[in-house]
Amino acid sequence: MSTWWPARRLSAALAVATALVLALSAVGQGAAPWYAALYVAVAVFGVGSPGALPVQVVAGVSMVAGLLVAGASPLALAPLVAGVVATAELLAVTARLDAPMERPAGDLLLRAGGHAAAAGAVYAVVLGAGRLPGPSGLAAVALGSGAALVAALLLVRRTRAR
Amino acid sequence: MTRSAPSPDTTRPSGTVPPLPFADAADLVDRILDEVCRAVVGKREVIRLILAGLVADGHVLLDDVPGVAKTLTARSIAAAAGLDFSRVQFTPDVLPADITGSLVLDLTTRTPEFRPGPVFTDLLLADEVNRAPAKTQAALLEAMQERQVTVDGVAHALPRPFLVIATQNPIESEGTYPLPEAQLDRFLLRTTMGYPSEADEVSLLTERVARGTDEVALDAVCDPATFVRLQRALEEIHVDPRLLAYSVAVVRATRHSPQLVVGSSPRGTLALVKLARAAALLARRDHVGPDDIRAMAVPALAHRVVLSDDAWARRTDPEDVVRRAVDSVPVPDLA
Amino acid sequence: MTDPPPSELIRRRPDPRLPAYLLAGFGALILAVAAGRAELAALGAPFVALAAAGLVRREPRNIRGEVTVRDDRVIEGDEIRGEVTLHWDGAGEIEAVLTAWRGVVAVEPTPVPGWAPEARTGPVTLPFRLRAQAWGHHELGHLWVRARAPGGLVERELKVAVAPSVRVLPGPLRLDKLLTPREPRAVAGQHLSRLRGPGTDFAELRPYQPGDRLRDVSWATSARLGEPWVAVHHPERTGTVVILLDTFFGDDRETNEALARAARAAWAVASAHLAAQDRVGLLARGRTAAWVPPGGGRRARWMIIDQLLAVGGAAEDPWRRRRGRRVVVPADALVVGITALRSRTYVQELLHHRRNGHATVALVLDTADLLPGASDAPGQAARRLWFARRQVERQVLEKGGVSTVLVPPDGSVGPAVSALRRRMGSLHVAGAGGVR
């Protein structure tokens, strides 16, 4: 039985389109075209295979990380970060709509957009926080990463405890 | 089987007796109902229906599982109304003579003597009538219909009032002889007792513990002669001719139902009007309303119809069919 | 209304984003520390935050459900209407599916009985419609639920309820084809009740006892002897037959063929006895007798099939393995067993009736042709074992006083019943006598 409901087809199309736009933007920022094409291929593969989603996210993050290390403006890469999250979210929606019954997807798509926007905002805020006076260099990175790690672990433990 | 004081008393009033005045009749039936409800907790509506059937001079069929106060209800009604009461437990080996009575040879005088059966009473509880063979059922039903018993060519009149509350265990069991559909027509109404609600069951236990005994002593609020006059009082309850036509229309609607192979007979129409009058009396009205007919349609008619094979296969409930028939007939405007 | 029973958690599964975000987020943080680049930490932060946000959401708890159908017995082609009711505590995104139903198809507008209700809090009621395609006993499957918190990244799959089963009776045309009475008169009139009672055939004379009917007094004998004597008569020939149906057929559900053979045999016996004015009852294991309407007809045939379908018609019900309360059949009844002899408990049931004094016979349905083909040695050995076991069960019955006869696959009951009648002659002599 086919489960390619209209909503699922839409989310798949949006995922691929987002991946394409992100790839083109990355190439414009200096990313290698072959890598950008690989990213789009992984996204297309992820439409039919949810297991490819971690590969897509890691590939996207790697692409952005490469641009950062190469000296691109960090703030200018915020849309790319949002794009990686948007692609991942849309691929997840596509996987979720793979069900024997049709379900409305408006809320899922809205949520995907919200997560993408939030990701870009968090990136920009943390970047800005990094420029504030205080510990700098490795200490700042270690402090920030450690704080994030601890906060995340605490949240996970709190969830498990419920 | 148990009996209490069977007495084919032919000196009791029979035939035409003056009816009770309406107000007295309404009061009396309320008092009987209240008295019975002292013994049977949480069943007021069902008892009201059964009482309506008995006041309408009809026999009542109770389809229900054991242990829901069928015997207690019958015994309490008899006690409250001051009627003689007998109970017969039907089993596969009960013979017709066990019900109607028989001629017995007196060994001392060598002459035959009629020994009346338990049917010679005012209110007979025929328990699990579907466990008796067809002949025994026929003997009872004939007595119900004719209000007399014929043994070896001699007719013995049954007392007045003569009322039967028959019970059937709906769970089919060994040796059951379901009453034929044609015979169910003899009963004015059929209903179930049902289980009490949780609150009523708690109240029942509370009262029992407080009382200290199983039995509730009921006071007789009338006697058999007065009960007959109460029954006659129904004739004073007015029925608008449009409601008579409405009753006929409801019964005829059952004959046109595609789910029934046999609809209700004209006996059903008579039963419906009688029960509607009794319902009006119980509601302290001297006239029948459309709601009385609607309310009594299912108890009066559901056991008189025969489902088609398809409807039976689909477990259609005859009561639902009758309800739909009632809903299909427009209520007359009496304004 | 009582609460539905608790659900069974089958698995907890992370959303594919969860490992992706954790990997990307912490990977970027580690890379930031290693490379000494603060921007990389900023790159990892959103992913860590999204993962954490997805994990902290509170999942819906105490998910319960039940499936009800309006009618548990329908005719082929009828629509079956039902409802799924789901309860849960807290907010959640719930998806429910009714799976693994057989013999029925979903009716538009819901092509598949699956739902994703928009409501985030329970309870919700979800109606469905199915159509009964083929007659038989059909399971409507299980109710499965997928649940997660709104925006959560962990999903649970639960088996919430088992849907009720539905008995689908054959339509009128198929019924006529399935159960056309074509068999000759069966064992009617071949057995005597153990009771002495009102009949017309003279049995014996004895002294009057109080309670005897006056009409039974034999005046000639009484005048001759000077004391009242009564004439006792044999009971009427109209008897009672109880057909004991065995509803265990192994795994022949798909074709219903074994059920059909049992139904044909039962109908052949029932219709013949009804024609002889006998009372005919049906008794399936665990269910009390249903009395076939004297007129026979379509209702009687449906009743037979309904009884066969009532206890599943296929897999052995574990309830049967307990020595539960046996239903008592009338003392004067002839018990006719109809069985494929695949259930040992059924054999014990027949022997129980024989020990209780009932004339008992068994029509053994030959279902060997319904066995799966055996091409290898183990398969052939299994078939031989199957035949041997059936033979053993028949011998057990015969030794216990239950006459058996094999009904061939073509369903012709007549020759089988004729063979039984010859044996019933001996039962005729043995069953008479003894005042109850």
The residues with which C64 forms a beta bridge, in sequence order, are: C6, C87
Question: Are C101 and C150 within one domain?
Answer: yes
- The DSSP output letter for C236 is P
- Tokens at residue C198, please? 């009102």
Question: Are C111 and C247 within one domain?
Answer: no
Answer yes or no: do A61 and C43 touch at CB < 8 A: yes
| Lowest-confidence segment of B135-139, C99-103, C397-401 by average pLDDT | C99-103
> Number of structural domains, chain B?
2
With a CB cutoff of 8 Å and minimum separation 6, the contacts of C255 are C370
List the single residue in A123, A138, A156 with the smallest CB-CB distance to C42. A123
Answer yes or no: do C71 and B314 touch at CB < 8 A: yes
The b/e string for B214-228 (b: 16+ C-beta within 10 A; e otherwise) is eebebeebbebebbb
Question: Within a 13 Å sphere around the CA of B88, how many CA atoms are in the beta-carbon half?
Answer: 31
At residue C322, does pLDDT exceed 70? no
Answer yes or no: do B314 and C215 touch at CB < 8 A: no
Q: What per-residue confidence (pLDDT) applies to B249?
A: 97
| Lowest-confidence segment of A2-16, B95-109, B280-294 by average pLDDT | B95-109
Q: How far is CA C17 from the centre of its chain?
A: 47
Encode pLDDT of C103-131 as tens digits: 788 887 766 768 888 888 889 999 888 99
Flag whether residue B177 sits within 8 Å of chain C, measured between CB atoms: yes
| Lowest-confidence segment of B35-44, B161-170, C269-278 by average pLDDT | C269-278
Question: Are C164 and C38 within one domain?
Answer: no
The answer to whether position B8 is within a domain reads no
Question: Are C52 and C108 within one domain?
Answer: no
Question: Within a 13 Å sphere around the CA of C160, how many CA atoms are in the beta-carbon half?
Answer: 27
List the single residue in C73, C298, C328 with the smallest CB-CB distance to B314. C73
Q: What per-residue confidence (pLDDT) applies to C327?
A: 60
The answer to whether position C1 is within a domain reads no
Looking at residue B121, which CATH number applies to its domain? 3.40.50.300
At residue C195, does pLDDT exceed 60? no
- Tokens at residue B221, please? 């609020």
Tell me the pLDDT band of B53, cut-offs 50, 70 and 90: very high
Choosing among C214, C242, C309, which should be mutated to test the B contact, i.e. which has the most B CBs within 10 A?
A: C214
Give percent of chain C above pLDDT 90.
21
> Number of structural domains, chain C?
4
Q: C119: which chain A residues are within 8 Å (Cβ-Cβ)?
A: none
Answer yes or no: do C327 and B174 touch at CB < 8 A: yes
Encode pLDDT of A65-75 as tens digits: 999 989 888 88
Q: What per-residue confidence (pLDDT) applies to B234?
A: 95
Question: Are C401 and C253 within one domain?
Answer: yes
Flag whether residue B105 sits within 8 Å of chain C, measured between CB atoms: yes
Encode pLDDT of A90-130 as tens digits: 999 999 998 877 888 898 999 999 999 999 999 988 888 77
Instruction: Measure the CA dihedral B122/B127/B132/B137, to 10°.
Output: 30
At residue B297, does pLDDT exceed 50? yes
Q: What per-residue confidence (pLDDT) applies to B79?
A: 94
List the single residue in B107, B172, B313 with the smallest CB-CB distance to C289. B172
Question: Are C319 and C420 within one domain?
Answer: yes
Nearest Cα neighbor of C97 from C120, C84, C115, C119 is: C115
Flag whether residue B225 sits within 8 Å of chain C, measured between CB atoms: no
The answer to whether position C422 is within a domain reads yes
Flag whether residue B174 sits within 8 Å of chain C, measured between CB atoms: yes
Q: Tell me how far apart the alpha carbons of residues A138 and B242 are, in angstroms, rounded to a whole number.
A: 100
The residue-averaged pLDDT of A19-23 equals 96
Q: What per-residue confidence (pLDDT) applies to C199?
A: 60
Flag whether residue A11 sits within 8 Å of chain C, measured between CB atoms: no
Q: Tell me how far apart the alpha carbons of residues C136 and C393 are, in angstroms, rounded to a whole number.
A: 27
Cβ-based interface (< 8 Å): residues of C facing B: 71-75, 78, 169, 172, 198, 208, 210-215, 217, 228, 279, 288-291, 297-299, 302, 306, 327-330
The answer to whether position B44 is within a domain reads yes
pTM greater than 0.80 (yes/no): no
Q: What per-residue confidence (pLDDT) applies to A33?
A: 94
> B110 by DSSP, 3-state: which?
coil
Q: What per-residue confidence (pLDDT) applies to C5?
A: 64
Residue B278 structural domain: 237-328
Question: Are C416 and C269 within one domain?
Answer: yes
**B175 → chain C, closest CA residue:** C330
- The DSSP output letter for B287 is B
List the single residue in C21, C30, C35 with the smallest CB-CB distance to A57. C21
Encode pLDDT of C419-432 as tens digits: 766 666 544 433 33
Rounded mean pLDDT of chain C? 79
Q: Tell me how far apart the alpha carbons of residues C206 and C201 are, in angstroms, rounded to a whole number.
A: 15
The b/e string for A28-45 (b: 16+ C-beta within 10 A; e otherwise) is ebebeeeebeebbebbbe
Q: B138: which chain C residues are within 8 Å (Cβ-Cβ)?
A: none
Looking at residue B297, which CATH number applies to its domain? 1.10.8.80
Q: What per-residue confidence (pLDDT) applies to B334?
A: 84
Q: Which of residues 25-54 of A touch C (CB under 8 A)?
A: 50-51, 53-54
Looking at residue C122, which CATH number applies to its domain? 2.60.40.10
Q: A145: which chain C residues are within 8 Å (Cβ-Cβ)?
A: 29-30, 32-33, 41, 44
Nearest Cα neighbor of C84 from C93, C99, C74, C96 is: C96
The dihedrals phi and psi of C132, each to the nearest 5 degrees, come to -80, 115
Answer yes or no: do A103 and C116 touch at CB < 8 A: yes
Flag whether residue B152 sits within 8 Å of chain C, measured between CB atoms: yes
The answer to whether position B6 is within a domain reads no
At residue C316, does pLDDT exceed 70? no
| Lowest-confidence segment of B64-68, B201-205, C97-101, C326-330 by average pLDDT | C326-330
Question: Are C382 and C403 within one domain?
Answer: yes
Question: Are B171 and B245 within one domain?
Answer: no
The answer to whether position B283 is within a domain reads yes
Domain boundary among B198, B228, B258: B228
Q: B310: which chain C residues are within 8 Å (Cβ-Cβ)?
A: 75, 172
Question: Are C247 and C265 within one domain?
Answer: yes
Whether C contacts A, i.e. 3 or more CB pairs less than 8 A apart, is yes
At residue B9, does pLDDT exceed 50? no
> C141 by DSSP, 3-state: which?
coil
Q: What per-residue confidence (pLDDT) applies to C11?
A: 86
Choosing among A126, A131, A158, which should be mutated to test the C contact, i.e. which has the most C CBs within 10 A?
A: A126
Question: Are B290 and B189 within one domain?
Answer: no
Helix (H) or strand (E) holding B105: strand B101-106
List the single residue in B104, B107, B171 with the smallest CB-CB distance to C214. B104
When comparing pLDDT for C382 and B49, which is higher?
A: B49
Q: C40: which chain A residues are within 8 Å (Cβ-Cβ)?
A: 65, 68-69, 141
The answer to whether position B3 is within a domain reads no
The dihedrals phi and psi of B57, each to the nearest 5 degrees, come to 60, 40
Q: What per-residue confidence (pLDDT) applies to B260?
A: 94
Q: Which of residues 92-151 of A touch C (CB under 8 A)?
A: 92, 95, 99-101, 103-104, 111, 115, 118-120, 122-123, 126-127, 130, 137-138, 140-142, 144-145, 148-149, 151
Answer yes or no: do C97 and A99 touch at CB < 8 A: yes
What is the ipTM score, two decimals? 0.88
Choosing among A73, A115, A131, A158, which should be mutated to test the C contact, i.e. which has the most C CBs within 10 A?
A: A115
Question: Are B188 and B247 within one domain?
Answer: no
Rounded mean pLDDT of chain B? 88
Chains touching chain A at 3 or more Cβ pairs under 8 angstroms? Answer: C
Residue C109 structural domain: 61-169
The b/e string for C122-137 (b: 16+ C-beta within 10 A; e otherwise) is bebebebbbebeebbb
The answer to whether position B244 is within a domain reads yes
The residue-averaged pLDDT of C272-283 equals 83
Q: What per-residue confidence (pLDDT) applies to C426?
A: 47
C78: left (phi over 0), alpha (psi -120 to 50) or beta: beta
Encode pLDDT of C358-391 as tens digits: 888 999 988 888 877 778 888 889 888 888 988 9
Q: B104: which chain C residues are within 8 Å (Cβ-Cβ)?
A: 210-211, 214
Q: What per-residue confidence (pLDDT) applies to C101?
A: 73
Answer yes or no: do A74 and C36 touch at CB < 8 A: no
- Range ranked top by mean pLDDT from A82-96, C42-56, C345-359: A82-96
Distance from CA of B251 to the nearest CA of C (A): 25
Q: Which class for A102: exposed (0-12), middle (13-18), buried (19 or more C-beta within 10 A)?
A: middle
Answer yes or no: do C289 and B95 touch at CB < 8 A: no
> C183 by DSSP, 3-state: which?
coil
Q: What per-residue confidence (pLDDT) applies to A133?
A: 65
Tell me the pLDDT band of B24, cut-offs 50, 70 and 90: very high
Answer yes or no: do C213 and B112 touch at CB < 8 A: no
Domain boundary among B193, B211, B228: B228
Encode pLDDT of C139-174 as tens digits: 888 899 999 998 899 999 999 999 888 999 999 888
When comparing pLDDT for B187 and C214, which is higher?
A: B187
List the single residue in A64, A119, A149 with the smallest CB-CB distance to C50. A119
